[in-house]
Structure 1
Amino acid sequence: TVYVAMVRAGESAGVLDQVMGKLADALDKQREFRSKTKGAMVYPVIIFVAMIVIAGIMMVFVVPKLTAMYKDFGAELPGPTKILMGVSNFAVNYWFVVLGLLIGAFFLYSSWSKTEVGALIMEQLTFKIPIWGKLKKDIILTEFARTISVLLGAGIPILDALNIVSNTLGSRIYSAGIKQAAVFVEKGVGLAESITRLDMFPPILSQMISVGEETGKLDSVLAKLAVYYESESEIKVKALTTAIEPLIMIIMGVGVGFLVIAVIMPIYNLTSQF
């Protein structure tokens, strides 16, 4: 809808070439921004997946062999080893139960999260996650400011621009907020004042929009706001990856430590008997 509205506005004003140029620039910036955001999260995700795969291999292939060896030697098994063996036996003998539960949970979550209530609750919870919640908000505000700026620059009225952008952000909370702002604007309230009345928008946004309205350069001010929130998002992405990596290392350390204790203790008990 954004692209169609811009092309129509460009055709009616006779400046289609300029509008297409602005649209191309906006799409290029959007693509680059999303690429940076996703790229920064690749390493933690790979490490986490590798941890799961290695743990699965250990439970299915390595631990059963150790279990058989300990039984042959008649070793006394300490608590950590019994826990490890119990988890391994369950994974080997009842893997279909685990798989069924995981698949069932996935489909239940997928179905529930697509409902209006489920999607809203998940979004609210996401916004409360440290660092990640603020990052999501900054990404949404970046898209909001950039899209509105491009639409206004193409000559589309502010009310139409708000109605268009409300359906492009992928956020039910912000979509509802922007639609409410559009209602205020339709009643004659300025955009800055309309934004101020809504809790999800930060004060700096309404302040900068107010400056844009007063100077008659709202599209350029919003473009600068998009750059500002984009830089804030990049900072938070770095902070998030910086916070995740030590957490992953701690989890790995605890897991490896438990595994070492569970494997070594029976061997130590065996050697102490001789």
Structure 2
Amino acid sequence: MLRALELLEEISGNAWVKARTQAARQAVIDGASLSVALREQKLFPDLFLDMLAVGEQTGRLSETMHHISEVYERELNKQVHVVSTLIPPLVMIAIATVVGLVVYGIMAAVFGLTQNLRVQVH
């Protein structure tokens, strides 16, 4: 567990996360359970921490962590699917807006020229 927290410290590019992870690691060294140490630092959602605490209490931490990773992987896949579904229509709307503005600019210039020609002819 300590090595996992140490790795999290090393890979974290965020100073706040790094400081919280260091504090959690120190709490574990001082005798706190992993779930309590992480809960105090507010690094993870309550669902994760509750499941982690159950895994610690039942002695099945490894299986619990695997289950937690599956839950979060499914959640991530759902979010990626939603975003990837929304991107093509949003790109089409952006392209249509740009094309519409270009057409409007051209048509406004053409109508402006025809108005000037009509004024000069009369």
TM bin, normalised by shorter chain, reads 0.7 to 0.9
Q: In structure 2, which of residues 41, 65, 74 is the aligned counterpart of residue 198 of structure 1?
A: 41
The 3 A distance-change label for structure 1 pair 173 and 229 is farther
Alignment match, 2:78: 235
Alignment match, 1:178: 21
Amino acid at match of 2:64: V
Give the C-alpha shift of residue 251 in structure 1.
Answer: 2.3
Question: Root-mean-square deviation (CA), in Å?
Answer: 2.2
Whole-angstrom distance in 2 between the partners of 1:165 and 1:244: 32
Consecutive unaligned residues of structure 1, counting only runs of 5 or more, are 1-157
- Structure 2 length-normalised TM: 0.79
Structure with greater contact order relative to length (CA < 8 Å, sep ≥ 6): 1
Whole-angstrom distance in 2 between the partners of 1:171 and 1:226: 22
Alignment match, 2:88: 245
User: Structure 1, residues 147-190: CA drift from partner, whole Å, max 9, x if none?
Assistant: xxxxxxxxxxx223321333235544433322221111111111
Q: In structure 2, which of residues 48, 64, 78 is the aligned counterpart of residue 221 of structure 1?
A: 64
Aligned counterparts, 1:1-274, within 5 A: 158-271=1-114, 273=117
Bigger Rg, which one: 2
Amino acid at match of 1:183: Q
User: Structure 1, residues 64-100: CA drift from partner, whole Å, max 9, x if none?
Assistant: xxxxxxxxxxxxxxxxxxxxxxxxxxxxxxxxxxxxx
The 3 A distance-change label for structure 1 pair 204 and 245 is same
Whole-angstrom distance in 2 between the partners of 1:228 and 1:169: 22
Whole-angstrom distance in 1 between the partners of 2:73 and 2:15: 21
User: Structure 1, residues 12-66: CA drift from partner, whole Å, max 9, x if none?
Assistant: xxxxxxxxxxxxxxxxxxxxxxxxxxxxxxxxxxxxxxxxxxxxxxxxxxxxxxx
Whole-angstrom distance in 2 between the partners of 1:227 and 1:176: 27
Whole-angstrom distance in 2 between the partners of 1:175 and 1:259: 49
Whole-angstrom distance in 2 between the partners of 1:184 and 1:241: 40
The 3 A distance-change label for structure 1 pair 194 and 170 is same
Whole-angstrom distance in 1 between the partners of 2:6 and 2:80: 29
Aligned residue pairs: how many?
A: 117
Whole-angstrom distance in 1 between the partners of 2:112 and 2:4: 73
Whole-angstrom distance in 1 between the partners of 2:43 and 2:72: 15
Whole-angstrom distance in 2 between the partners of 1:170 and 1:231: 25
- Structure 1 length-normalised TM: 0.38
Identity %: 28
Give the C-alpha shift of residue 271 in structure 1.
Answer: 4.6
